[in-house]
Structure formats: C-alpha cells, structure tokens
Amino acid sequence: MSTTPNKIFIARLLGMDVFDPMGDRLGRLRDVVVLKRSFGPLAVAAGSISQRGKEPIVVGIVIEVLGKKRIFVPMTRITSIDSAQIICTGLVNLRRFEQRGSEALVVAEIFDRKVRLTDGSGEATVEDVAMEQRRNGDWFISELFISRIPENGGLLRRRKATLVVDWDEAILSTDLEPQAATTFVANHEHANAADLADAIHEMNDKRMVEVAHELHDDRLADVLQELPEDDQVEILSHLDVERAAQVLDEMEPDDAADLLNELSDAQREQLLVLMEPEEAEDVRRLLEYEEGTAGSLMNPVPIILSPEASVAEALAHIRQEEIPPAMAAAVLVARPPLETPTGKYLGMVHMQQLLRYPPSEQVGNLLDSSIEPVSDMTSLEEISRVLATYDLTILPVVNESQRLVGAVTIDDVLDALLPEDWRTYDDGTPIRKVGRRFE
C-alpha cells in the first residue's frame, strides 16, 4: 500500500468513496470493524504494565453500496487509502454484513464513549480514533482523540480541552455504562429518516435508546415512523412520559395512532392526556375506527381549502416542508369549517392542474369531479382498488354526512397491505441492507 499513510484518523474516512481497481465506485465508508481486544476496565493498576500489542485489531470496513445496502470489506482487500478515496480489490462479497460478538463498530460503539485516563487525570470523551498499520500489514487501533473539561480552574477557563492519547493510556467505559450519541447523530444529520432508521434498527436496544435520546423531537418522530413496531415501543418506553408525548405530537396522526395501539390502555391514555389537545383529538378519532378501514388508515389533516382560495394559496400549502410528498399531490376543497370534519366536501385539485393555471385562479373552478371520495368505513381492499384504477396517490375520505374527515395516501395503504415484518428479510435483516462478508 504505497499510497496509504501508516496512521489514519477514522472520522476523516467517513463518507469517503470506495472504488474497485477498475475505478468503478462501490460505495461509501460508513464504519470500521475491530476485534474487541483490551476493551473495558483493565485489571491492572494505572500505568503498572504496558498494554502495547493488545490494541484492537482492525479487521475491515463497512461500506454502503447502491440501494443503501451495507456490506463488509476485509482490510486484506484494501489496496490503497488516501485523502480522497479508498481502493480495494474487485473480490467483494455482496452478502449482508453481520456483526459478531467479538467485534465492535468504531463509529457506533467507540465514538462518544467515556474513558478514564490511566494517569489519574480524570475522565474524557472519545471524539475520534486513529488506526495504524504494522510492518506485517495488519491494522490496529493506536490512539484516541479525546475531549474533556478540566476539573480545576475558574469559570472562564472551563473550556473543552482536546488531546491525543495512546490506546493504553485510556480505559473505555463498559458496554453497560451510558454512551453519548453526539457524534453518531452529527454524522447522520443529513441522512434520510428511513436510512437513519435502518442504522438504528441494527443497534442493540441500549444503543438504540441512547441515539433516540440525542435526536430532536421532530427528527425522532420522523425516524420512529420508519421503524418496526417493536423498535418504536422500545424507544418510546424509555423516554420520560412528557417527552414521549411531545414526540407523538410531532408524528403524523395516523402513525401516532398506530404506535399508541401497541401500548396498554393505561399507557395510551396517559400519553393522550399529555399531548397537545388538537393533536390528541385527531389521534383519538383515528383510534375509534376499526382496523383496516379508511378511517383507521387516513391522515385527518390533509391540505384543505375553501373553493374561493387561489392557485397561489394552494401551491403555498403544497410547498410546506412538513407536507409529505403523497399528501402534496392534491388539495382537497370543502365548505367551511375547514378543519375535519369539514363542511360539505366539494372535490379535489391535483397539483399538476394547479401548475397549469394562473396564480389568481380560484381552486373551486378546477375541481376533478371524476374522483369520488371513499367512506370512512371503506375496506382496505376497496381503497387499494380505487387508487390502482385511477392511478392516484391520495384519496379523500368522508363520513356519512359527506363531510371530509381525512385522506388516505398510497404509503398508508402499502404499510397496511405488506406483512408486519416487511422492513426485514426472514432472518431479521433490514430490507435495505444486503451483503455479507467473506467467511
């Protein structure tokens, strides 16, 4: 590896492109896999013996390939690492990566871990990890980049201090102790909620909860909506009840209702009482419907406008960042009141139709009268048939009085039609992740 430096800090590698010898891009580096050597508290007095030679061995990297699949590439397949790219041989196995009990992921399990310095100067937090290559070609963890706030000194001097220490100069906290998730969340700041959910789903329960605590309420709500029900319940049950209610407030009402249905009656009622009254009211209405009906699947807060509203006003609503793409496919038009249940439902206007008319045109003049709304008691099978027949992504839902009560979108229907474990393969692997290492 003539182009490879013999010491590299791993944080600098995250997101770096990985290529095969022909120059074709395989994917991006997401983590580094090491063997758990010298992990946890050492059964020796601080500094009494040298731990050289017992540093964790680096066995490979985890890369994300096309389709958000994560695979394992052994270090023996890496031929070059520089400041811009990583090159490996073409012999890469595309079966899914499976972490073994003797292994640890550097980014997921060492970054943000607490360490105790063996010189007796106190505790610190791991911010980066360096790996080095020995003369025989093996890679190992050699140094930790750590930060800490000095215990002594005046208020103005209590700034975070950073330093690099050898692996044997710090003792990692045990797996049972809390681990911060600051670095992990920062590295996934711009990740799609579904991709972040995949990464969290692969974690053990303890780490999953730690990451959840670090996420902002709105971000956590988006991620929860992409997780399997067991993971949703695990995370929600480890939040304090006030924060759990706040996260439910940020979720789409239909997703919040689905999650609350997985809890006991007492837990469900406690959270509903703590939620914002308007959000709780929407969720309560959804909980009243029988499972598998349009009422149980719908979102009770679609885009609803009066017939006098202009095209410009309709497009402004569609452009709102929090509106899901499927919900933004059309605006629904009704007589006041415009909160569900509305006045009489009049019709829908597709987004493409809005783009064909001047901003001042009233939406009441553009109604698509060929699409009939479905009743809130309509079955899932009938909803699916209507969506497929008319190539729709959204379908209005009305009650027996022809008042608009919500809308069902194609993603709601797919979630209901697919089996409960649709996010994973038969062996429990997330469906977006395929690939396995060489044995």
β-sheet bridge partners, residue 424: 430
The position carrying tokens 């009141």 is 337
β-sheet bridge partners, residue 214: none
pLDDT tops 90 at residue 129 = yes
pLDDT tens by residue, 188-242: 888 889 889 988 887 888 989 999 999 999 999 999 999 988 999 999 999 999 9
pLDDT of residue 420: 64
pLDDT tens by residue, 281-295: 999 999 999 999 999
User: If you average pLDDT over every residue of the chain, what do you get?
Assistant: 87
Higher confidence at residue 409 or residue 100? Answer: 409
- How, if at all, do strands 304-305 and 69-74 pair? unpaired
Measured from the Cβ of residue 315, the count of other Cβ atoms closer than 10 Å reads 15
- Chain length of the chain: 439
pLDDT of residue 95: 83
Residues 6+ apart with CB under 8 A from 322: none
pLDDT tops 70 at residue 118 = yes
pLDDT of residue 426: 44
β-sheet bridge partners, residue 349: 331
**pLDDT mean over 39-47:** 42
Q: What tokens appear for 331 in the block?
A: 């605006």
Continuous H helices in 319-397: 351-355, 380-389
pLDDT of residue 152: 57
Write out the E strands in 335-403.
345-350, 374-375, 394-398
Q: What is the SS3 assignment for 116?
A: strand
pLDDT of residue 432: 41
With pLDDT > 90 as the criterion, what percentage of the chain qualifies? 65
Higher confidence at residue 250 or residue 41? Answer: 250
Residues 6+ apart with CB under 8 A from 36: 56, 102, 103, 104
> Do 326 and 393 form a contact (C-beta atoms < 8 A)?
yes
pLDDT band at 142 (very low <50, low <70, confident <90, very high): very high
pLDDT tops 80 at residue 149 = no
pLDDT band at 83 (very low <50, low <70, confident <90, very high): confident
pLDDT band at 98 (very low <50, low <70, confident <90, very high): confident
pLDDT band at 46 (very low <50, low <70, confident <90, very high): very low
Continuous H helices in 147-240: 182-187, 193-201, 205-214, 217-224, 229-237
Q: Could you give all domains of the chain from N- to C-terminal order, each with its CATH number?
A: 7-172 (2.30.30.240), 188-288 (1.25.60.10), 304-416 (3.10.580.10)
pLDDT band at 434 (very low <50, low <70, confident <90, very high): very low
β-sheet bridge partners, residue 350: 330
Task: Give the separation between CA 1 and CA 13, rounded to whole angstroms.
Answer: 17
Continuous H helices in 261-399: 265-274, 277-287, 294-297, 311-318, 351-355, 380-389
Task: Give the separation between CA 127 and CA 79, rounded to whole angstroms.
Answer: 27
